[in-house]
Amino acid sequence: MLVEIRNLSIRFPTPRGETEAVRGVSLSLGQEKLGIVGESGSGKSLTARSILKLLPSNARISAERLAFDGTDVLSASEADMRAIRGRRAGLILQDPKYALNPVMTAGSQIAEAWRAHRPAGARAGRKEAAEAAVDLLAQVQIRDPGRVAGAYPHELSGGMGQRVMIAMMLAPSPDLLIADEPTSALDATVQAEILRLIEDLVSRRGMGLILISHDLPLVSHVCDRVAVMYAGQVVEELPARDLRHARHGYTRGLLECLPSLIHPQQRLKVLNRDPAWLDPTGVPR
Amino acid sequence: MIEVEDLRVRFGQNEVVKGVSFSVPRGASFGLVGESGSGKSTILRAFSGLNPAWTGRMALDGARLSPKRDKGFFRRVQMVFQDPYGSLHPRQTVDRALSEPLLVHGIGDAQPRILRALAEVALPQAVRFRYPHQLSGGQRQRVAIARALMAEPEVLLLDEPTSALDVSVQAEVLNLLADLQQARGLTYVMVTHNLAVVTHLCARVGVMQGGELVEELSAGDLRAGRTKHPHTADLRALTLNLEEPDL
Amino acid sequence: MNALTRDWLLSDSPASRRQAAWGRRYRLWLQFRGHGLAMAGLCVIVFVVFVSALAPLLAMQDPGAQDLAARLAPPSAAHWLGTDELGRDLYSRLVYGGRITLGMVLAVVVLVAPFGLAVGCVAGYAGGVADKVLMRVTDIFLAFPRLVLALAFVAAMKPGVESAVFAIALTAWPPYARLARAETLTFRNTDFVAAVRLTGASASRIVLRHIAPLCVSSMIVRVTLDMSSIVLTAAGLGFLGMGAQPPSPEWGAMIASARRFMLDEWWVPAIPGLAIFVVSLAFNLLGDGLRDVLDPKQS
């Protein structure tokens, strides 16, 4: 198992006592594509980030087991985590504008990521790293990798920036890719290309993928398996192709309230939140 | 109600809207779809008076609009923005936000009007004195809609009003907009990138690409695939691919 | 009763604008209370304000009363902090000196902050020619070294507390104008300002009621951090003989007149020096805490 999460709970202190943002989540992931879907505040990003221990500093985290490829994340030191982050697991964020260094060219950022994560002893020269960067840019299907390598982030479009981000994450050949809303800042045409690219790279390199999104149809399009989160819990986990036959009221409600291009409705269905969904014992597994 | 003819907008050397024409009859909804940078939001901002650097002809109810608008214009035309987190003043309560248009236009009996506005957008009275950060995204967008309606406008310009919201909240806001249109006979111009949303609310749709209106068609034609321009067909195919991957 | 008011303040659905505003302030106070050092700074400043206000009650004698028989006396029961070269009680002078120092700080802030805010907001919102003119004038004032300009100004007028206040104010406002302009620029293109413009509100209403209130919190932070340098400049002018004049117990002037005794009767200059140090440190600590609470994006 690449990732094992058992009974994960993440709490935050507030002036009026603790709030529990993630409540008893269990998930596991092998070399496959898992989608985590939920509305804002459902705890989907926190759950995925806990694997890399990238949580806000005031978060209190506890779990029966939280492991990345056998390493216990909860007891791991900051140095151990640094060896995992970036090298063994990459994180792609929503907006590449904030994730790339504005005063370094795309190529030198990728080259640096590539050099930083070389195994100890295998020293690499600048030239070699620069070549590796161009090669990685070609792998993310950039037509003119040499030019993009010399460009600064503000000279790149949103889709191009996201490709550079992906190339950077691929530099150390990670085992796991976590993509947190990777396309919600992008246009529909670019979104389709980026998702196809991620899908393709993940299957070709045999990586695990966790795709976090609020867009249920999109996730089921890309992933093998979908976990639906509501108020900090996984309310339903099912194979992506069975999405139409979802059993949980929340999953079905989410699907039904989407407007459709080909099935026009006079009035959209709205989600009626059933208080029973909040009850962990009432969750059908 | 709304006429736009040969509208051109420049930012420096860049012409971002290159001669767009369309018209919207009273009480109808017109949707503008396109990708980012296609100029669709720029058209709304030019019509609303936020961007005075345009050429061409725009008219409201037959009266030609000049780049500078008077107060009367803002009583008739209002706008709802995309980001409900950015469109409310962070230090002002809901009550203050809703009373601002009343103060500017010198409209009396604020208290009952505010209570009625909250009820109309289905917000509980309890939120009246809350700050924006104490509200959810959907509640904020309802406040923004209520604020736009305070001065009882005839035209509502909607700039991606649901794209920052969760889908369950999107459904509620779209239903609310449909109800308000029916109750008040409002005229809508809506900008969005989502074809399903635009066909749900708007009977006529204009497709933008690179600053030009490449096609104008009815929602029915767009649904059925009776498109003329390849860009329209592309956008439709992408939506269908997600909606019905098996087709 | 306490729980009741606390609940009233922390209510999720306040019943009036007043309750909402106080609730917001109370939440900020709860946050501020967590900063130990900032609270220490606040305590020191509250203490100094208190002592200055009650100076006539707290002082043991008239700060100007001389007793040449007991000049340069070390601290004792009769003179808690000793006496200066004219036999005046240092403790009483220090207590009265707090009035002058705080008074100068207050006067400078009252003159400078609203002026800087107004210039910055107008320049930032109007843009164009108005912005260019106002900002170049600001640049001219910024180009002078603070103490030198203040010195020249005081020398041209007659030395004294009022001239010192004007001189410091003259050199202190440009950073506020800059700050307010930068803040205004970030706000002027936001959607919420666009929404207000679409109500048909006039430019002056937008600046006064919507933009300026947003600049105030960073102004408060800046003012608090700046107060220590105002204290120091005031003391520096006093030391150079350009600020408060000798008989008055201003802290900088006290050091100046006592500097001859630095080696033998060290406490005479050291005591006002310590007071200046403690007060300016307290203002800095308070400012840091306020920045964390009011301006989270900068920390």
A269 contacts in chain B (CB < 8 Å): 171
Taking each continuous run of H as one helix and of E as one strand, the counts in chain B are: 9, 10
| Contact between B191 and B41 (Cβ < 8 Å) | yes
Q: Please check the confidence at residue C298 and state whether its pLDDT lies above 50.
A: no
Greater confidence (A264 vs C119) lies with: C119
Touching chains, C (3+ CB pairs < 8 A): A, B
Contact (CB<8Å) B87/C195? yes
Contact (CB<8Å) C20/B130? yes
Q: Please check the confidence at residue C297 and state whether its pLDDT lies above 70.
A: no
Cα–Cα dist A197/C125, whole Å: 45
A16 contacts in chain C (CB < 8 Å): 10
A15 contacts in chain C (CB < 8 Å): 10, 27, 30
- A123 to chain C, any CB pair closer than 8 A? The answer is no
Question: Residue A280 has what pLDDT?
Answer: 60
Token reading at C115: 């002026």
Q: What is the mean pLDDT of chain A?
A: 86
Handedness of CA B24, B30, B33, B38 (dihedral sign): positive
Handedness of CA A58, A63, A68, A70 (dihedral sign): positive
How many beta carbons lie within 10 A of that of residue B59, not counting itself?
14
Chain C from 68 to 127: CB within 8 A of any B CB: none
Question: Chain C: nearest CA to A40, how far in angstroms?
Answer: 21
> Which chain A residue lies closest to C12 (C-alpha atoms)?
A16
Cα–Cα dist A163/A141, whole Å: 8
Chain A from 266 to 285: CB within 8 A of any B CB: 267-271
Contact (CB<8Å) A187/B35? yes
- A75 to chain B, any CB pair closer than 8 A? The answer is no
Q: Please check the confidence at residue A97 and state whether its pLDDT lies above 60.
A: yes
Question: Residue A132 has what pLDDT?
Answer: 87
In what helix (H) or strand (E) does residue B3 lie, and over which residues does it extend?
strand B2-11
The shortest CB-CB distance from B127 to any of C13, C191, C199 is to C13
Q: Please check the confidence at residue C246 and state whether its pLDDT lies above 90.
A: no
- Tell me the pLDDT tens digit for each residue of C45-100: 999 999 988 888 887 788 777 777 777 777 777 777 778 778 788 888 888 988 88
Lowest mean pLDDT among A66-75, C3-12, C182-191: C3-12
> Which chain C residue lies closest to A16 (C-alpha atoms)?
C10
Contact (CB<8Å) A187/B195? no
**pLDDT tens, chain B, 247 aa long:** 899 999 999 988 888 999 999 999 999 999 999 988 888 999 999 999 998 889 999 999 989 998 888 889 999 999 999 888 889 999 899 999 999 999 999 988 889 999 999 999 989 998 999 999 888 888 999 999 999 999 899 999 999 998 888 888 899 999 999 999 999 999 999 999 899 999 999 999 999 998 999 999 999 999 999 999 999 999 999 888 877 766 5
Q: What is the mean pLDDT of chain C?
A: 86
Question: Residue A123 has what pLDDT?
Answer: 67
Touching chains, B (3+ CB pairs < 8 A): A, C
Contact (CB<8Å) C30/A16? no
- Tell me the pLDDT tens digit for each residue of A107-138: 898 888 888 777 665 666 788 888 888 988 88
- Tell me the pLDDT tens digit for each residue of C149-161: 878 888 888 888 8
Q: Using the 8-state DSSP alphabet, how is residue C276 labeled?
A: H
Q: pLDDT band at residue C12, thresholds of 50, 70 and 90?
A: confident
Q: Which residues contact C62 (CB under 8 A, 6 or more apart)?
A: C92
How many beta carbons lie within 10 A of that of residue B74, not counting itself?
22
- C191 to chain B, any CB pair closer than 8 A? The answer is yes
Contact (CB<8Å) A188/B170? no
Three-class SS string for chain A? CCEEEEEEEEEEEECCEEEEEEEEEEEEECCCEEEEECCCCCCHHHHHHHCCCCCCCCCEEECCEEEECCEECCCCCHHHHHHHECCCEEEECCCHHHHCCCCCCHHHHHHHHHHHCCCCCCCCCHHHHHHHHHHHHHHCCCCCHHHHHCCCHHHCCHHHHHHHHHHHHHCCCCCEEEEECCCCCCCHHHHHHHHHHHHHHHHHHCCEEEEEECCHHHHHHHCCEEEEEECCEEEEEEEHHHHHHCCCHHHHHHHHCCCCCCCCCCCCCCCCCCHHHHCHHHCCC
Q: Please check the confidence at residue A106 and state whether its pLDDT lies above 50.
A: yes
Question: Residue B230 has what pLDDT?
Answer: 94
- Tell me the pLDDT tens digit for each residue of B53-106: 899 999 999 899 988 888 899 999 999 998 888 899 998 999 999 999 999 999
Question: Residue C239 has what pLDDT?
Answer: 83
B92 contacts in chain C (CB < 8 Å): 210
| Contact between A180 and A198 (Cβ < 8 Å) | no
> Which chain B residue lies closest to A189 (C-alpha atoms)?
B238
- C30 to chain A, any CB pair closer than 8 A? The answer is yes
Q: Using the 8-state DSSP alphabet, how is residue B113 labeled?
A: H
Touching chains, A (3+ CB pairs < 8 A): B, C
- Tell me the pLDDT tens digit for each residue of C169-207: 888 899 999 999 999 999 988 999 999 999 989 999 999
- C222 to chain B, any CB pair closer than 8 A? The answer is no
Which residues of B fall below an 8 Å CB-CB distance to C? 48-50, 69-71, 73-75, 77-79, 81-83, 86-93, 95-96, 100-101, 104-105, 126-131, 134, 144, 147, 151
Question: Chain A: nearest CA to B195, how far in angstroms?
Answer: 7
Contact (CB<8Å) B89/C196? yes
Question: Residue A283 has what pLDDT?
Answer: 45
Rg (CA), chain C: 23
| Contact between C175 and C226 (Cβ < 8 Å) | yes
Contact (CB<8Å) A254/B244? no
B75 contacts in chain C (CB < 8 Å): 200
**ipTM, 2 decimals?**
0.89
- Tell me the pLDDT tens digit for each residue of A161-208: 888 888 888 888 889 999 998 887 778 888 888 888 888 888 888 899
The shortest CB-CB distance from C17 to any of B93, B101, B127 is to B93
C10 contacts in chain A (CB < 8 Å): 15-16
Greater confidence (C229 vs B7) lies with: B7
B141 contacts in chain A (CB < 8 Å): none
What torsion, rounded to 10 degrees, do the Cα atoms B133, B139, B140, B141 define? 160
- Tell me the pLDDT tens digit for each residue of A229-253: 998 999 999 998 888 888 888 999 8
